[in-house]
Structure 1
């Protein structure tokens, strides 16, 4: 019987291992993976530690291990289009797959500690779970973090002091958010007697010794946080939005985590959200019933899940960085809760409960198989840009003497993994805003070609000043590539590049203290780009949208228009300075069937929530800019 149960568990592990490694090296790295590659291959050890201590919100353990693994396996970057792949993607993702296998294997002893009948079936619940496979096929720390956190919780239930110290310390030094489930589990263990040291002393001395045993791993985290004080106190995430409400949080913990909605929705394969909420409720009920049955052990798991989730929710109110990846540690705990339900329903008939769990787990694996296959075989461009293919095009079409600019600055990290003969310099970094004089200084002076790699550029160049500066100097695009939000352009320009200024100066003031100081137009076949040069005459208290209309005549509705927030959603009007002229790009594509003729262009401002236009001081609700001739 034991041989059969070991084989049953082994098949689940092999199934996950095979699915995890299936073409795992085929997709290109996406940006977060490229950040990791840049950190371990683009920096020596002191440089990497300096970045983690002063700039990035991650403890060091995963990166130290990945750097050692890369050195051991000979992982190296390569130049797409100029040389064959080096196996870099496979080598750096493989540790995450191994971590996923260990996580599944660890579910069995945890289930036994909780006295779950049929604990050997637990790995089948997650063997083909799309979300676990996603993070197990990613060159990031999340699969490792999940495994270490589960190992630490198991150590508390099994009263294994050294495993608790090792696993909890490693988890805390892998991701800061490990603090929430592990502190919660340790608090429950303190009150239920988990890991209580044997001691002849009683009373207060024994409680202090118990607290020291449970709190030891957190001392290492505290030491690192003090060492990395610039990050732990001052790091601000990019584009996170406001704090989540309870409904949003439950959506992350239910449909996003348990049914992988966040990854399956772009494929059109997401389950009805009610499945996610139902599974979340079932998991909570199962953990509660098991804690009633085995309070000292299952109470630790329940506390880690419930109190850890509550602590995460509170932390997100203070620093809103909500995403399902920060809840992945809950997935195996919730799976245990779901597995506990058959035992609660069947009662003392352990054989029947074990068979019920085996059937449930096998059904979960079969139901997940099609979903897992769909996302494993789908191109990564469903979710992320293809940086490797973009660099391949760059390498195949680059000419001697070409130069490059990456906007935002972190775009240069792409070239640590994917090499190119074109040297790219970093543009403005997150938190900075590119202004015309700085854009002109960025562009190499002298005739030649300039490549622009634009990724998350709306956060640092909201008015698209960089490409406007090239175009205003007479530059024109000769190469271009698009991959989702990633754009690559090559511009030829005549040499001298002055700062971007209006070609048509004007003075027009809108109600509320916003002036338009001029405009420019650049045309490339059917694409026209109109730059409006705004100036704030007084501080603004609300965000506004701008628009450019091309109409048949002054009284007609627009034939073509472009509406967008003034500058971008990352630089709203209340955050912008008074007195600075702000270039703002509005792109329009002329319909192929537009009749030849002369068309007036208009600019306007309006409130995005109501659509109410801001009047000019003349009383008009839109400003005539000039005429556009087509073709």
Structure 2
């Protein structure tokens, strides 16, 4: 049967490697990456720190990253492998469980195979197998604990006990919540203790388990509750609601209203029948009932303790109950062990329905991880929008503050330039009641003073937990509203990009934020485009120590264009920039778009009201080093052919209705 387990694991691995790096890292994965940047000494010390939730995982991942690098694929690969290993292990544990019940060989194989296949295809398991977090490895630990407990119950040798204790200790280092399973094992011991043991031993053991359980609930309430403002979005749930949400997540990896109701039916039927049969078997006095009692303890004790802390915190995430997920899967396939052929047949049909639903859920538009749609927060895409537009003198605001690791991770992957140091408003982590509008004004004045353009990278779902919208109809709190209504702040909006879970706002200021200082002048360019538009100045900005005019492949060429008009234009015009060596050929780099991303169209430009337009040419990483010519032109919106370009009157050279701005040097990355 080892070959079957290996085959199941290999098949599961293929599923888990499919589109492994297709989704951006999201908030929690960014935190993982940031934590493994800590020193080895710090991570070793975390093993014994009660504040560290899963220290052993970070040590293991740091070692892996030292060998494989920290790409998205490399960060997630350990989870994918662990998820595949869990499938093979569950097949073995299910066989052990069925043998303890003295089930026949056909039922044993069907039971084991069904459990492994369910885990292999389950959206919930695949999600965590494609996430750079501890939970897929925790799944392995929970299965190993179940295996070791069944082994001790069946053959309580010293070696079996030492193995169980060793796995339990490693599991607690892997994730502190594994202690919930340790308490489940203690309940198993009390339940299955030999009758010969005195009532005092049972009483003392029960008191110890009860005391530990109460203490653990208190610790969970304090630990999880203190995370409310620092871990982003969460689900406030009472115990009954948490049970419902757990059922939906375990079954479909969905929330309420995110799937057709019929999808949940086979899970409800199998779960109900399985629980009934499990409770019935656990009540039997014969030794064969021991396996059922172990499974019942692994299912109910951790869930009960976790639900108890919800009475204080209301802080729920289904991943915290992943410890009981293997027991849940065994519960679903438990009817296959029933001696009646009709029960097995109906259960098999329902399990086929479950597999069908798994496939539908995995590929469901908007929600399925294999759908091709973004289902994780798109920090990669949002930060790319900033990286290809940013200037060295831009202000970049991150909100909330704890998305900073994603900025650090992705910005250096999108540009070879040194990115601006971002600004965060740390006081917002204390919540809206401790950071009012007056505080926001003061913090903003201090942070923004002297800048002419800023970008806001905001994760709205996380931001609203610390910067609550003033009105229920508002999408953002104080920070987001400031950018959403730029015109009302007497600022120019210069771009809005909405990706899944992450939004980017660009805001330009006619004069410097807060100080009101005029923009520093650039190089004069007396050029007229068509009958209406005047180019007054051009400012090339420095991104390297060599100064303005020298730029690095893979980075940006930033410049500001200073415009005015003779009279208000009647047409919207598009700006294009060409960077070329053989300038009669298509340029190897350039940009093409309306001024200020179209938010300040030329049709509203007025004489005597100058406009400064920050433009950026993203430079390909493989752009050959050398001297390049920089050209500028305008054409009417919708008429991109060369013949439609506006004629230019200028003292500087003009080539094919393109104004020569100068020569720049490109150096290798």
Determine the C-alpha separation between the residues in 2 that align with 1:367 and 1:235.
34
Shift of 1:298: 2.4
Partner of 1:23: 19
* CA shift digits 1:378-416 (9 cap, x unpaired): 2453x3431101111111111231121112111212123
Correspondence for 2:54 among 50, 56, 59: 59
* CA shift digits 1:540-581 (9 cap, x unpaired): xxxxxxxxxxxxxxxxxxxxxxxxxxxxxxxxxxxxxxxxxx
Shift of 1:358: 7.6
CA 1:27–1:243: 2 relative to 1, 3 Å: closer
Determine the C-alpha separation between the residues in 1 that align with 2:429 and 2:44.
21
Tell me if 1:334 matches 2:328: yes
RMSD: 4.0
CA 1:408–1:368: 2 relative to 1, 3 Å: closer
Partner of 2:579: none
Partner of 1:503: none
Partner of 2:429: 430
Determine the C-alpha separation between the residues in 1 that align with 2:421 and 2:50.
24
Partner of 1:72: 67
Confirm or deny: 8 A CA contact 2:87 2:119 kept in the other structure: yes
Moved more, 368-377 or 481-490: 368-377
Correspondence for 2:251 among 246, 250, 258: 258
User: Which structure 2 residues correspond to residues 113-152 of structure 1 after superposition, within 5 A?
Assistant: 113-114=96-97, 115=99, 116=103, 117-118=108-109, 119-121=111-113, 122-152=115-145
TM-score by length of 2: 0.60
Runs (5+) with no aligned partner, structure 1: 76-87, 500-631
* CA shift digits 1:322-381 (9 cap, x unpaired): 23222222222122123221222438xxxx999998887666445533433442322453
TM-score by length of 1: 0.64
Correspondence for 2:507 among 485, 488, 491: 491
Shift of 1:239: 5.7
CA 1:63–1:387: 2 relative to 1, 3 Å: same
* CA shift digits 1:265-302 (9 cap, x unpaired): 64x56644444432321231243244346222321111
Shift of 1:158: 0.4
> Could you say what secondary structure the match of 1:304 adopts?
helix
User: Which structure 2 residues correspond to residues 394-405 of structure 1 after superposition, within 5 A?
Assistant: 394-405=386-397
Tell me if 1:344 matches 2:312: no
Partner of 1:385: 377
Work out which of the two has the higher radius of gyration on C-alpha atoms and give 1 or 2. Answer: 2
User: Which structure 2 residues correspond to residues 527-566 of structure 1 after superposition, within 5 A?
Assistant: none
> Could you say what secondary structure the match of 2:369 adopts?
helix
Correspondence for 1:444 among 425, 448, 452: 448
Shift of 1:68: 2.0
Partner of 2:492: 476
* CA shift digits 1:242-263 (9 cap, x unpaired): 54142x2331243331233339
Determine the C-alpha separation between the residues in 2 that align with 1:104 and 1:397.
45
Shift of 1:113: 2.8
Tell me if 1:458 matches 2:464: yes
> Could you say what secondary structure the match of 2:149 adopts?
helix
* CA shift digits 1:11-49 (9 cap, x unpaired): 4322211111012012111112112112223x3345668
Partner of 1:98: 81
Determine the C-alpha separation between the residues in 2 that align with 1:430 and 1:161.
46
Correspondence for 2:269 among 265, 268, 278: 278
CA 1:190–1:419: 2 relative to 1, 3 Å: same
Partner of 1:14: 10
> Could you say what secondary structure the match of 1:186 adopts?
helix
Confirm or deny: 8 A CA contact 1:253 1:324 kept in the other structure: yes
Partner of 1:154: 147
CA 1:53–1:317: 2 relative to 1, 3 Å: farther
Runs (5+) with no aligned partner, structure 2: 153-159, 413-418, 471-476, 517-669
